[in-house]
Structure 1
Amino acid sequence: MSQKEVYVYARWQVKEGELPTVLNMMKEVAEQSSREDGNLFYKLHQSQSDRNTLILFEGYKNSEAVEIHRNSEYFKKLVLEQIVPLLESREVLLMDKIV
Structure 2
Amino acid sequence: MATPYFQVIAHYHAKAGEAGKVQALLSELAQASRGEPANLYYDFFISTSEPGHFVILERYTDAAGFEAHRNSGHFQRIGFGQIIPLLDKREVSSCMVPGN
Q: TM-score, normalised by structure 2?
A: 0.90
Secondary structure at 1:96's aligned position in 2? strand
Equivalent pairs, count: 96
| Residue equivalent to 1:65 | 65
- Structure 1: 5+ residue runs without aligned partners? none
Aligned equivalents of 1:93 and 1:51: distance in 2? 21
| Residue equivalent to 2:49 | 49
Secondary structure at 1:10's aligned position in 2? strand
| Residue equivalent to 1:32 | 32
- Amino acid in the other structure paired with 2:18: E
Tell me by how many angstroms 1:96 deviates: 2.0
- Amino acid in the other structure paired with 2:66: V
- Residues 65-99 of structure 1: CA distance to partner in whole angstroms, max 9, x if unpaired? 11110000110111101110100000000112256
Flag as ranges the 4+ runs of structure 1 deviating above 6 A: none
Q: TM-score, normalised by structure 1?
A: 0.91
- Amino acid in the other structure paired with 1:17: G
| Residue equivalent to 2:90 | 90
Aligned equivalents of 1:48 and 1:22: distance in 2? 16
Counting aligned pairs with the same residue, the percent is: 32
- Structure 2: 5+ residue runs without aligned partners? none
Q: What RMSD in Å do the two structures reach over aligned CA positions?
A: 1.2
